[in-house]
Amino acid sequence: MKTMTCQQLGGPCDLGHRGETADEVIHAQDKHLRAVVKAGDETHRAARQEMRARWLHPKQSLGWYNDAKANFAALPED
């Protein structure tokens, strides 16, 4: 298991997302952003919009995705 924070994935807070793979952590970040914005947290709105755009245009977001995977791979195991 490894942990990446919301901030490491482009968000504004230090909430940690744990997963066995980068994809698990990225999906956890997406759920986090959806939930907090829905609850009225405006500090996460820009990150939520960016994440949403990545899901809508995955080919254009390949650079971000590859960077996130590389950053995840470089992390030590928890």
pTM of the shown model: 0.91
- Distance, in Å, from the CA atom of 49 to the CA atom of 36, rounded to the nearest integer, reads 13
Q: According to the model, what pLDDT value does residue 26 have? A: 95
Instruction: Kindly give, in sequence order, each residue whose CB lies less than 8 Å from that of residue 73, ignoring residues fewer than 6 positions away.
Output: 22
Q: According to the model, what pLDDT value does residue 55 have? A: 85
Q: According to the model, what pLDDT value does residue 58 have? A: 82
pLDDT tens for the chain, 78 residues long, are 999 999 999 999 999 999 999 999 999 999 999 999 999 999 999 999 999 998 888 888 899 999 999 999 999 998
